[in-house]
Amino acid sequence: MKIINKEIAYDGHFKLYKVKLQDDDNVLERELFDTGEAVAALVFDTARNQYIFVKQYRMAANDKMLEIVAGMHDNPNESLEAAACREIEEEIGYAVDTIIPIATYYSSPGAFAEKISLFYAEVSHKKSEGGGLAEEHENIEIVEVAPPDLSTLPLNDGKTLIAVQWALLQKQK
């Protein structure tokens, strides 16, 4: 298979492309939803011995969801690590002491182009209140979780499930 034509069908907050694929003698038409590239981080406060999550309304779920810190990597001059550190400060108010990569993956590559770079970050001092940027209309609640409670969290967000499973596996080593 190869893409032979790609046109923007919708260009709003996100993009929707109409794509033509060549599959041997067949031409297939598909849609591709593109939100861009994202970063996400499981944050651990080493001074307080707490994981730090965010809770915010998510339109697709029509509910508030418990998640790790995440945001867009929309500046090509910014490294993925720097974007994750920026999101951590914006959303929960912490400066990052240490950041390490966990994985980079596509969340649903059949029709969704978002690529997520997932990190683990350690923090120890708060620089601001966090809560998100006013211009992004984020209404973020900060949630602290003790390490023994990590495995009991009611999670239904993919990036958060991956990060928590990674953390639980690290404890077994």
- Residue ranges of E strands in the chain: 2-11, 15-23, 26-34, 37-45, 50-58, 63-67, 69-72, 94-106, 115-126, 141-145
Structure confidence at residue 4 as a pLDDT band (50, 70, 90): very high
Q: Which residues pair with 39 in a beta bridge?
A: 71, 117
Please give the tally of structural domains in the chain: 2
- Asked if residue 98 and residue 16 are part of one domain, the reply reads no
pLDDT of 39-92, one tens digit each?
999 999 999 999 999 999 988 899 999 999 999 998 999 999 999 999 999 999
Is there a single domain that holds both residue 45 and residue 84?
yes
Whether residue 24 is found in the same domain as residue 87: no
**Mean pLDDT, residues 122-145:** 82
Could you tell me the residue range of the domain that residue 11 belongs to? 2-32
Nearest to residue 44, comparing CAs of 167, 156, 160, 140? 167
Is 61 assigned to a binding site?
no
Q: Are residues 60 and 23 part of one domain?
A: no
Together in a domain, 133 and 58: yes
Residue 157 DSSP label: -
CATH code of residue 124: 3.90.79.10
Label the pairing between strands 63-67 and 50-58.
antiparallel
pLDDT at 139 over 90: no
Given a cut of 80, is residue 136 above it in pLDDT? no
Same domain? For 13 and 66 the reply is: no
Question: Looking at the structure, do residues 75 and 140 belong to the same domain, yes or no?
Answer: yes
Dihedral (C-alpha) 137, 160, 115, 134: value to the nearest 10 degrees? 10
Do residues 50 and 134 both lie within one domain?
A: yes
44 with 21, same domain?
Answer: no
How many other CB atoms sit within 10 Å of the CB of residue 100?
10
Beta-sheet pairing, 2-11 with 37-45: unpaired
Verify that 20 and 94 share a domain, yes or no: no
Alpha-carbon span 44 to 5, nearest angstrom: 44
pLDDT at 138: 72
If asked whether residues 21 and 46 sit together in one domain, one would say no
* 41 marked as binding residue: no
- Residue 81 assigned to a binding site: no
> 135 among the known binding-site residues?
no
pLDDT at 135: 65
43 and 17 fall within a common domain: no
